[in-house]
Amino acid sequence: MKKSLSILLTLLLMMSCFTACSSGDSNEETEVIPEEESQDIKDFSNGTPWPIIDLDGVVTQDTPADVKDNFALFVNKDKIISRELKKDDSIVGTMYDAILAGEEDEQLMYAGDEPESHDAKLAYDLFHLMIDWDSRNKVGVEPLKKQTDAVESLDTIDKLTVYLRDTPKTEQLGGLWYAGGEKNLEDSSKRIIEVSNDKLLLMDSEEYSKPTEFGKVLKDAKMKLARRMLVKLGYTEDEAQQKTDNALAFETKLATSIYTAEENGSEDIYERANNHYTWDELKEAEGKLPILELLENTGYPKQDDYIVSNPEALKKLNELYTEENLPLMRDLMIVKGVISAASDLDRECFEWSEECSNEIEGIDAEPDDKAIAAGYVSGALKWAVAQLYTEAYLHEEDKERITELVNEIKEAYHGILEDADFLSDETREKAIEKLDAIRPCVLYPDSWEKYEYKGLDFKGPKDGGTLWEAIQAIEAYEIKEEIEEFLNPVDKEKWTVSPQTFNCGYQPLTNSIYILGAYARGDIYNSEMSDEEVLAKLGVSIGHEISHAFDRTGAQFDKDGNMKNWWTPEDKEKFKKRNAKLAEYYNSIHPWEGQDLQGSIMTGEACADMAGMKVALRVASEKENFDYDKFYRAFADLWFVKENLMMARAGVEDEHPLQYLRINCTLQQFDEFLDYYGITEGDNMYLAPGDRVNIW
C-alpha cells in the first residue's frame, strides 16, 4: 500500500523542535548507482561501534545479539528479522505502524454520508474531489498550461518583474524568493515580514557542489517528473531537457549564497538569520526585485521593520536577475510549478508524481488513492480534519492521564536543572522560570472556536466542482487569513499543529510542548499499558520535548518565547563546550564503514533524547517495584525500525540520530541502565563516565 513520502519522513522528523525557519557541472545528469548494486559494493554490517541494524539485510539469524554489546539489537532482533520489507515499503516499525493505522483511521472518516457542518463538509468534499478521477481527467493539465504559457510569454526582464509584482500568488508559478509574515523572534507577541530565499529543488544548497547519494536520487527523480510533465504540456523532449538543465543551472548559481543544511542546523542560525532592515534599507537591498510591491499588492501594509534572513542570497539573486539569465529563471519557475502541480492533475500526472516519490524512497508501489487523499486533506484543511479526528478517535480520559504525566515529568525536570553543576544560581533561576512557564498542548485543543474556516467555500463533486478550483480557493483563503493574522497580535494560546499529525514537538516562540493525538495511540500509548511502558514511550517523549527548551536552540529563547539571552557568559561557554563534546561523540560513530555522521547538526535532538531518558529515570526512581527491564525494552521498541537504503541515506543527513543510535547512545549515558544489566568496562555498551556526553 503506497504511502506518501511526507508521511514516511515523519519518522525522521519525529519529536522535533517546531520552528520557523557534485564535483563537476550540476547541469549534467548524475549517474546513480542502483540500490542493489550499491548494496554489493558496501559492507553495511561494518559500522562502529555498532552497524546500522535498522538497514534491511544487515541483521540475520547468525548475527549475535547480546545485551551488553548492542542493546537495540538484543531487544529488537526478532522483529528485525521477522518483519518483511515489501517492495512498497521503505520502512516498517513501531512508529510506522502507528502512522499507517492513523492513515486508515482518517480514510474511514470520509466513508459515510455527507456531513452537515460547514467545516466537516469542506473536508469531505475535498477528499471526494481528490478521488473523482472522471472530473480530474476531464480537467487534465489545462489549468497548469495556462500558468506555464503565462510564464513562457515573459520575453523581457521587465515583463518578468510585472508578472512577479502583479500576478496573484494563487496564480503564480514557482517562485524566486519567499516573503511573508512570521513571528518576531525578539518579541514573539508580534509578527514581522521576513524575506528569504525560496526552497531549492534539491533541498540542501550543498547538493549542487557536493552531491550525496540521496541527493543524486532526489535530483534524478524530480527532473524525470518535470520532463514528463513538460512533454505532456506540449514541449518536445529536447525542450523539456533544456528546461530542467536551465532550472538546475540557475539554482547552482544561487546555491553558493544559500545556507547549507548544516548551517541551518547550527547553533547560531537564529542570530545569523535575524537581520533587521528598515523599509528604505529593504528597498535598496531588493534592487530590481519587486519584493515590496508584491507584498503591498498581496495586502501587507508598509512596515518600519523587516527581516532578511540571508542578505547574501538576496544580493546574489539581484546579481542574477538579468536579461541574460531570464531563460533560466523562467524555466526554474516552470519546472518548480509542474513538479508541485503534478499530484493535483489527471491520473497520469498523479501516477508520475507517485512514481517520483517511489524513486526517492527506493520502493516499488501502487498508489493508494484514498490514503493519499486523506493525507492531502489533512494538510490542506487541517483544523476541519482535526475536529473530525478528535471526535472519532481521541478521548478525554486519555487527555487527562497524559496531562498528569506531563505535569509529573515537568516537576521531575526541576531536579535536573537543580543538579546541573555547570549552571550558576542566576542562570538556574531563569531556567526554572522557563520550565514552569512551559505550556502543554495535549492531544487536542480544548475548544474549536479559533479554528473554524469562516468564509471558505468551494463546490464539491455533486455540484460540479473540481479539485483545481478547490485548491485555488483554499490557497486564496490561507493568504487572506495570513494577512489578517499579521495585522493582529499573536495568539499564543492558539495551536499551530493539528492533533492528527503524528509527532510531538516544542515551540520556542510560544514556550509550549505538543503531545499530539495521533502520536499517543496504539503501541506508543494506550490505556491498557503498564506504567513502565507509558513512561518509556510517552514519558521519555514528553521529557524530550521539555528538554528542547534547554537545547542549543531552545536555550536562546526566554520563558515568554523571545530570543533573549538569559545565560551568564561563563555558563553559556560551558554549555557550548558540552554541545561540542556531544557533537564529537556522534562524529566518532559510523553507521557503515566510510560513512560519517554530522554531529554538529544532531546535538539538539540527541541532547533531548538523553535528557528525556534522564527525567524518566528520575520519575521511575520514585515508583515502588518498578520493572526496569520492561521499561528499557519498551524504550527500545519505541525506536524499532527496519528500512531500505534510501531511508538510511536520508537518515544519515538528518538532524535526528538514526533510530538504533537513539536507543544505544541514549542508554549508555546512564549508570542506572549499565548497572541493571551488569554492563562494565570492556562491554560494547559501556561508556566511561568521563566520556559521557549527556548535557543535562
Mean per-residue pLDDT for 376-405?
Answer: 97
Beta strands 504-507 and 16-17 are parallel
Q: Can you list the alpha helix ranges (DSSP code H) found in 142-212? A: 142-152, 157-166
Q: What is the mean pLDDT of residues 565-573?
A: 96
| Amino acid occupying residue 686 | Y
Average pLDDT, the chain: 93
Hunting for cell 496564480 — which residue is that? 171
Write down the pLDDT at residue 88.
86
Predicted confidence (pLDDT) per residue in 403-433, tens digit? 999 999 999 999 999 999 999 999 999 999 9
pLDDT at 7 over 80: no
Query: Any idea which of 229-233, 638-642, 649-653 has the lowest mean pLDDT?
Result: 649-653
Q: How many CA atoms lie within 13 A of 191 on its CB side?
A: 19
User: Given the C-alpha cell 555522521, which residue does it identify?
Assistant: 597
Mean pLDDT of 489-497: 95
Percent of the chain with pLDDT over 90: 90
In this structure, are residues 208 and 23 in contact, taking their beta carbons and an 8 Å threshold? Answer: no
For range 281-290, the mean pLDDT: 98
Cα 67 to the center of its chain, rounded Å: 33
Provide the pLDDT for residue 8.
Answer: 42
Domains of the chain: which residue ranges? 141-345
Instruction: State the pLDDT at residue 138.
Output: 98
Counting other chains too, the contacts that 46-51 makes at CB distance below 8 Å and 24 or more residues apart are 46/592, 46/593, 47/589, 47/590, 47/591, 47/592, 47/593, 47/595, 48/588, 48/589, 48/590, 48/593, 49/589, 49/684, 50/660, 50/661, 50/664, 50/684, 51/591, 51/592
Would you mind telling me the total number of residues written for the chain in this entry? 696
Distances (CA, A) of 453 to 99, 123, 276, 431, 655: 26, 11, 34, 38, 35
- Render pLDDT for 595-605 as a digit per residue (tens, 0 to 9): 999 999 999 99
Residue 6 has pLDDT above 60, yes or no: no
> What would the pLDDT profile of 162-199 be if each residue is shown by its tens digit?
999 999 999 999 889 999 999 999 999 999 999 999 99
> What is the spatial distance between Cα 155 and Cα 282, in angstroms, rounded to a whole number?
27
pLDDT at 18: 55
Cβ(607)–Cβ(655) under 8 Å? no
Cα separation, 136 vs 130, in Å, equals 8
Q: What pLDDT does residue 406 have?
A: 97
Going from the C-alpha of 583 to that of each of 13, 355, 606, the distances in angstroms are 19, 37, 9
Over range 31-55, report the average pLDDT: 72
**DSSP state, 454?**
T
Tell me the CA distances in angstroms from 271 to 511, 556, 564, one per residue in order.
18, 9, 11
The confidence score (pLDDT) of residue 490 equals 94
Task: Give, in order, the Cα–Cα distances in Å from 317 to each of 165, 344, 537, 614.
Answer: 16, 30, 46, 47
pLDDT exceeds cutoff 50 at 649: yes
Confidence of residue 266 (pLDDT cuts 50, 70, 90): confident
pLDDT tens digits, 75-121: 999 999 999 999 889 999 999 999 999 999 999 999 989 999 999 99
Q: What average pLDDT does the segment 127-135 reach?
A: 98
Which class in CATH covers the domain with range 141-345?
mainly alpha
617 Cα distance to chain centroid: 29
- CA–CA distance from 248 to each of 223, 234, 353 (Å)? 9, 21, 19
pLDDT grade, residue 365 (50/70/90)?
confident
Q: Angle 536-540-542 (CA atoms, 0-180°, nearest 5)?
A: 135
How many angstroms from the chain centroid is the CA of residue 176? 22
Cis omega (within 30 of 0) for bond into 49: yes
What percent of the chain is predicted at pLDDT more than 70? 94
Helices and strands (DSSP H and E) totals, the chain: 31, 10
pLDDT at 630 over 70: yes
CA distance 639 to 76: 9
Q: What share of the chain is helix, strand, coil (3-state, %, to 5)?
A: 55, 10, 35
Q: What's the alpha-carbon Rg for the chain, to the nearest Å?
A: 25
